[in-house]
Amino acid sequence: MANTTLMMIKPDAFENGHIGNILEKVTSAGFKIKALKLTQLTKRDAETFYEVHSERPFFGELVSFMTRGPIVAALLEKENAVSDFRTLIGATNPAEAAEGTLRKLYATSMGENAVHGSDSDENASIEAAFHFSKRECF
Ligand code: GDP
């Protein structure tokens, strides 16, 4: 799994009609789509996915944001996928994200920042298994 990462296009980007543009930029940057779905997280799903942040003051806000509408989940493949995808999406806070990054282009705030990308190979595997069964991965 070392060459894969898990992307989520978050509810704000879905609401603002950015799914097509984001997928185009992701594939143009050399990522191959290995699995893809439109889905919606339950409260329990979001609490599990972001468990590492459960003690943070913004946890409630994060869970309610991530469950308020559909998301796109995708498993992406590329050499150095985790780190290259973090570069493509940019800093957590769009105000600090580099020009041309997905968060600079499509995010509106620190919380509503359009795209998720795994932060390690280990988490990429855990997050891929969270969203996809083996037969959904190609
Ligand atoms: P990431 O790895 O760049 O996504 O950032 P983190 O792992 O630090 O945070 C996970 C997610 O929590 C971010 O992508 C944001 O959606 C959200 N988040 C982080 N910091 C804040 C904050 O200060 N306020 C709110 N409302 N959400 C935050």
Cα gap 120→19, rounded to integer Å: 24
Residue 92 CA, ligand 1 centroid: distance in Å: 6
Going by the DSSP 8-state scheme, the letter that residue 75 receives in this structure is: E
Q: What is the pLDDT of residue 2?
A: 76
What CATH number does the domain containing 119 carry?
3.30.70.141
Residue 101 CA, ligand 1 centroid: distance in Å: 16
pLDDT classification of 1: cutoffs 50, 70, 90: low
Q: Is residue 108 part of a domain?
A: yes
Q: Is residue 119 part of a domain?
A: yes
Residues with CB under 6 A from ligand 1: 53, 58, 61-62, 92, 110-111, 113, 116, 119
**Residue of 53, 70, 72 lying closest to 62 (CA atoms):** 53
Six-digit token pair at 111?
């919380």
Q: Is residue 138 part of a domain?
A: no
Q: Is residue 116 part of a domain?
A: yes
Number of domains in the chain: 1
Cα gap 99→116, rounded to integer Å: 18
Q: Is residue 34 part of a domain?
A: yes
Q: What is the span of the domain harbouring residue 89? A: 4-133
E-strand ranges in the chain read 4-9, 32-39, 71-77, 115-117
Active site residues: 116
Percentages of the chain per state (helix, strand, coil), in multiples of 5: 45, 15, 35
Q: Is 0.85 surpassed by the pTM of this model?
A: yes
Q: Is residue 104 part of a domain?
A: yes
Q: What is the pLDDT of residue 42?
A: 98
Taking only the tens place, the pLDDT of each residue in 105-130 is 999 999 999 999 999 999 999 999 99
Whose alpha carbon is nearest atom 16 of ligand 1? 111
Residue 111 CA, ligand 1 centroid: distance in Å: 5
Cα gap 76→104, rounded to integer Å: 21
Q: Is the pLDDT of residue 84 over 70?
A: yes
Taking only the tens place, the pLDDT of each residue in 3-60 is 999 999 999 999 999 999 999 999 999 999 999 999 999 999 999 999 999 999 999 9
